[in-house]
């Protein structure tokens, strides 16, 4: 045993869960965490560098996500697992410890596309789409953002007009996850009655999705442009339960909630990578973990990861109790993604030149998190949502 290993072993338990946060989770929650963690260790970690380098989304994982009950996992019935919000968050954290792109698949499918149908669809629409999506046989995407309407979706240009009993849809969407591999798209469009959601099979003539490439972030994930040209839809393509932006924003709440957990997974993986490296790597004849500047970095990471998990857990408990307010989700999304990026970047510094290769995860996580801090509401938007909640004064314009 080397002196480095002797330093590492007594620290291990405390290093991984300093405040014994595991005590705050139930046995079922910890069992789920361990299952998803094992899946990530076996199926994601060995391959993620290749997927990232070749900009490949591992479609073969979709059925495996389904087998683990991860698709629409917090929804009840329709083949969904009916797990709690906290369990959904734990799964997001473990998936994102593998890669943000992997967690993004589960978010777009479950929190956005499936949630839209689940919350606002007719019973017939739910029966038609949700079981196949929960089983991973059908992939969904969620079209809200447009080339000229990102933070301000109220100014979307995509429009649906009545055509006899049906609808005709025209417009464009951008930054839409999974659209090139999706079977169905939830498209939000202006109508005479306000913004409505439409279920659009991607095989409908006039629907075209194009992957946005090359990207410096989320390379193991797919983000797309969608063009919608004279898309003809039946009258029952509209989601009956949603009129106005409240509909898509309610789905964004689900995705933003998962992100606050997921970001802590990326941060934890970067911290653990950093810690292992710092204990093994020797410079000036001692492990670099013995340097005060290195310990400062490690300690700052532990503080923020443990605080971030507490924020996510409290938010999840509020969600499970049915009392969570949207502005509370903004708190977790803003804080946890911001801290996670700082942690991943700092972790890269200790890896030196090795840290800019795909052999180590921190820079990949940091690059992914640039997307995560941008989608589902930028840092600035979440700051202003919290500012409005504190002061009562909207400051968006
Ligand atoms: P405002 O126009 O006044 O509000 C409209 C209505 O929506 C309600 N609302 C919410 N409801 C539920 N949850 C929320 N989080 C809500 N936020 C607003 C609001 O109460 C109102 O209801 P009602 O009944 O009065 O009509 O909008 P606002 O002033 O409340 O919000 C302004 C602002 C800037 C906060 C909002 O526009 C916003 O959140 N902007 C950011 C949008 C965003 O996150 N875009 C990114 C989407 S990501 C994407 O499209 C890609 S999907 C991911 C992928 O595919 O990978």
User: What pLDDT was estimated at residue 25?
Assistant: 98
Could you give the 3-state DSSP secondary structure of residue 57? coil
Known catalytic residues are: 376
Average pLDDT over residues 106-112: 98
Report which of 127, 111, 32 is spatially closest to residue 72, judged by C-alpha positions: 111
Instruction: Kindly report the protein residue whose alpha carbon is nearest to atom 42 of ligand 1.
Output: 151
Average pLDDT over residues 275-301: 96
pLDDT class of 16 with cuts at 50, 70, 90: confident
Peptide bond into 214 cis (omega under 30): yes
User: What pLDDT was estimated at residue 8?
Assistant: 42
Query: Separation of 41 CA from ligand 1 center, angstroms?
Result: 36
pLDDT class of 63 with cuts at 50, 70, 90: very high
CB-defined site of ligand 1, < 6 Å: 104, 108, 112, 142, 144-145, 151-154, 175-177, 244-246, 249-250, 252-253, 326, 375-377, 381, 385, 394, 396
Average pLDDT over residues 182-206: 98
Alpha helices in 232-245 (DSSP H): none
Q: Which of 176, 185, 246 to mutate to test the pocket of ligand 1 (most atoms within 8 A of CB)?
A: 246
Instruction: Kindly report the protein residue whose alpha carbon is nearest to atom 54 of ligand 1.
Output: 177
Average pLDDT over residues 192-217: 98
User: What pLDDT was estimated at residue 397?
Assistant: 87
Asked if residue 266 has pLDDT above 90, the reply is: yes
Phi, then psi, of 227 in degrees rounded to 5: -110, 135
C-alpha distances out from residue 105 to 71, 177, 179, 242, 314, Å: 9, 8, 11, 24, 25
DSSP string, 271-304: HHHHHHHHHH-EETTEEGGGSHHHHHHHHHHHHH
pLDDT class of 2 with cuts at 50, 70, 90: very low
Instruction: Kindly report the protein residue whose alpha carbon is nearest to atom 40 of ligand 1.
Output: 151
User: What pLDDT was estimated at residue 5?
Assistant: 37
Instruction: Kindly report the protein residue whose alpha carbon is nearest to atom 21 of ligand 1.
Output: 246
Atom of ligand 1 nearest to the CA of 152: 37
Query: Separation of 353 CA from ligand 1 center, angstroms?
Result: 42
């Amino acid at each position: 045993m080397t002196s480095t290993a002797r330093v590492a072993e007594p620290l291990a338990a405390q290093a991984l869960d300093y405040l014994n946060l595991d005590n705050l989770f139930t046995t079922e929650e910890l069992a789920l965490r361990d299952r998803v963690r094992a899946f990530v260790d076996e199926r994601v970690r060995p391959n993620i560098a290749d997927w990232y380098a070749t900009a490949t989304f591992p479609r073969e994982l979709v059925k495996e996500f389904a087998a683990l009950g991860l698709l629409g996992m917090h929804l009840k019935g329709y083949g969904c697992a009916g797990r709690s919000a906290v369990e959904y968050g734990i799964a997001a954290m473990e998936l994102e410890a593998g890669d943000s792109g992997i967690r993004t698949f589960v978010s777009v499918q479950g929190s956005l596309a499936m949630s839209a149908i689940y919350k606002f669809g007719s019973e017939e629409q739910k029966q038609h789409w949700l079981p196949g999506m929960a089983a991973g046989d059908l992939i969904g995407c969620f079209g809200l953002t447009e080339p000229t309407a990102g933070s301000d979706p109220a100014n979307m240009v995509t429009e649906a007009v009545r055509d006899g009993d049906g609808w005709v849809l025209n417009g464009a969407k951008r930054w839409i996850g999974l659209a090139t591999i999706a079977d169905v798209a939830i498209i939000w469009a202006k109508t005479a009655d306000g913004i409505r959601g439409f279920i659009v099979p991607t095989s409908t003539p006039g629907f075209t999705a194009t992957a946005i490439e090359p990207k410096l972030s989320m390379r193991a994930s797919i983000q797309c442009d969608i063009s919608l040209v004279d898309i003809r839809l039946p009258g029952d393509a509209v989601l009956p339960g949603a009129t106005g932006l409240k509909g898509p924003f309610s789905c964004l709440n689900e995705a933003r909630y998962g992100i606050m957990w997921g970001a802590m997974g990326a941060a934890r993986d970067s911290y653990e990578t950093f810690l292992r490296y710092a204990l093994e790597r020797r410079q000036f004849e001692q492990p670099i973990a013995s340097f005060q500047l290195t310990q400062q970095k490690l300690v700052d990471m532990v503080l923020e990861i443990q605080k971030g998990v507490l924020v996510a857990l409290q938010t999840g408990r509020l969600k499970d109790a049915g009392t969570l307010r949207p502005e509370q989700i903004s708190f977790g999304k803003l804080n946890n993604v911001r801290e996670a990026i700082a942690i991943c970047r700092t972790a890269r510094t200790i890896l030196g030149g090795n840290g800019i290769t795909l052999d180590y995860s921190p820079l990949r996580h940091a690059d992914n998190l640039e997307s995560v801090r941008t989608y589902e509401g930028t840092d600035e938007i979440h700051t202003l949502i919290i500012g409005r909640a504190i002061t009562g004064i909207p400051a968006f314009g």
